[in-house]
Homo-oligomer: A and B are copies of this chain.
Amino acid sequence: MEIENVAEYLKNNGIKPSYQRVRVFEYLIKNKNHPSVNMVFKALLGEIPTLSKTTVYNTLKLFAEKNIVMVINIEDNETRYDADTSVHGHFKCEKCGELFDFGVNENELNFDKIENFQINQTHIYLKGICKNCKTN
Contact = CB atoms under 8 A, between A and B. Distances in A.
Contact of A124 (B71, B109, B128): B109
A89 B115 CA distance: 13
A94 interface: yes
- Interface of A (DSSP majority class): strand
A24 interface: no
Interface residues of A, number: 40
| This protein's copies in its complex | 2
Interface stretch (A9-17, A44-52, A72-80): A72-80
A136 interface: no
Interface in A55-81: 71, 73-76, 79
A30 interface: no
A120 to B, nearest CB: 4
Contacts of A134: 116-118
